[in-house]
Amino acid sequence: MNCFPENFLWGVACASYQCEGAWDEDGKGRSIWDDFCHDPYAEHIRNGDTGDIACDCYHRFRDDVALMKTLGLKAYRFSVSWPRIIPDGDGAVNEAGLHYYDELVDELLANDIEPLMTLYHWDLPSALQDKGGWLNREIIPAFGRYAEILAEHFKGRVKYFMTINEPQCVTVLGYGIGIHAPGLKLSDEKLAQIYHIFALSHSEAQRRIKAVAGADVQVGIVPCGRLCYPSMNTPENKEAAYRASFNLAKDRWGFTFNIILDSLIFRRYDDSAPDAVRRFAATIPPSEWEQMETPDFIGVNVYSGDEVDCKGDFVRRPAGFPLTANKWFVTPEVMHYGPLNLYRRYGLPLFITENGQSCNDRIFLDGKVHDPERIDFLHRYLRELHKATEDGTPILGYMQWSFLDNFEWSEGYNERFGIVYVDYSTLQRIPKDSAFFYRNIIASNGAVLFE
């Protein structure tokens, strides 16, 4: 029977700023996304949307967890809002903030849903940004302290911690081209420094989590970047796709997995690094490389990949190539070769921490939300993921992005990624057809994908 590994964790994912709302309740401090959305001088977000209310999960989490239960979900990957826990990032702890996550975690556990906790999914306390954010090395101990507070508080309840979500997106979109908070446009040298600070911050957090929670917990990081798949199933072409995935060439180094993972795991940069990275790397003392911590697992967010031919060139998409609503290419093969190549390079177990697509969903006349494209997407991508497991890639679980439609950063509420529809005028939740399809996948541990 074509099934996924035993105890495979089938889940969904979301992030604090994208779904919680309650942006200024119960002592929460401001985050850079609050500031970015409320910027009086510029409209950074489509339609002027904000995460002030979002899906209101802060108040509705019990109903949401009940719905997760009816769908048979086994895991929920959520993120903690740093300014809810420590309003100024580095000072007093806000007990009300901890209390919210206490209740959420307890509710999940009571329903046999494994909580997967991400510590940083982009909502940095504004007070830390005022001091330079991820460009100021003072953030390393501040992040470590925040991680330790959470590990101490949740030990025995949370087994999987993920330190940082997609440092590449923060760096490139937030500090490089400025379309995400904090909206800066810095040089490549500065971006290289930020990557190094992220790597040191992950390492500091991992050490401190392990020191208080010990062997009971697994600590990972969730990087992102370019993942390639071969045009043809030949050894040469597969090798070319592997090399293209981890190439730090000048025009693409910032959006690669290895810009972070090589630091953490190999304690160096790849030979393909461009001049800006090499210049910065020359200033890193050996004692800093020694501080790097290899994660217990890698979280991978898989959306769209690049096809590479046997010469290593990117293949141009033909007219009419399948697209999602936000115009990302639908490339299921990346779910096979992406994890495979990450495992080949790093030899660590993987979680698929995000995967899904945006659709132009709406409520049909029958009152339901029919989303055949998302069903087809999940079907195709999960069949490819199964190939990766058959090839021996250790995949611990799969988190669909996302449970609810939510705030899609600079695109606001324009993009709907959920398997559950949110009517933003009433905040009512309506499971889409894909939610029931996913329920059947989970119940059969993947067997229905092959019927």
Binding site for ligand BGC (CB under 6 A): 15, 18, 165-166, 169, 301, 354, 401, 408, 417
Q: Which two tokens stand for residue 46?
A: 């489509």
- Judged by beta carbon, residue 166 or residue 384, the one nearer ligand BGC is 166
Minimum Å gap between C-beta 402 and ligand BGC is: 7
Catalytic, 451? Answer no
Give the residue from 385, 398, 396, 271 showing the smallest Cα distance to 338: 385
The angle formed by the CA atoms of residues 292, 297 and 300, to the nearest 5 degrees, is: 105
Query: Among 107, 148, 354, 415, which one carries the catalytic annotation?
Result: 354
| DSSP 8-state symbol, 404 | B
Residue 135 to residue 151: CA distance in whole angstroms: 25
CB of 86 to ligand BGC, least distance (A): 22
| Three-class secondary structure assignment of the chain | CCCCCCCCEEEEECCHHHHCCCCCCCCCCCEHHHHHHCCCCCCCCHHHCCCCCCCCHHHHHHHHHHHHHHCCCCEEEEECCHHHHCCCCCCCCCHHHHHHHHHHHHHHHHCCCEEEEEEECCCCEHHHHCCCHHHCCCHHHHHHHHHHHHHHHHCCCCCEEEEEECHHHHHHHHHHCCCCCCCCCCCHHHHHHHHHHHHHHHHHHHHHHHHHHHHHCEEEEECCCCCEEECCCCHHHHHHHHHHHCCCCCCCHHHCCHHHHHHHHHCCCCCCCCHHHHHHHCCCCHHHHHCCCCCCEEEEECCCCEEECCCCCECCCCCCCCECCCCCECCCCHHHHHHHHHHHHHCCCEEEEECCCCECCCCCCCCCCCCHHHHHHHHHHHHHHHHHHHCCCCEEEEEEECCECCCCHHHHHHCECCCEEEECCCCEEEECHHHHHHHHHHHCCCHHHHC
Residue whose CB is less far from ligand BGC, 120 or 154: 120
Q: Please say if 166 is a catalytic residue.
A: yes
Taking the least distance from each CB to ligand BGC, the nearer of 15 and 124 is 15
d(CA 397, CA 369) in angstroms, rounded, equals 27
| Secondary structure (DSSP) of 201-233 | HHHHHHHHHHHHHGGG-EEEEE-----EEESSS
Amino acid at 199: A
**355: phi then psi, degrees, rounded to nearest 5:** -170, 130
Q: Nearer Cβ to ligand BGC, position 191 or 240?
A: 191
Closest CA to 104 of 91, 117, 86: 117
Q: Which of 201, 355 has the CB closer to ligand BGC? A: 355
Point out the residues that are catalytic.
166, 354
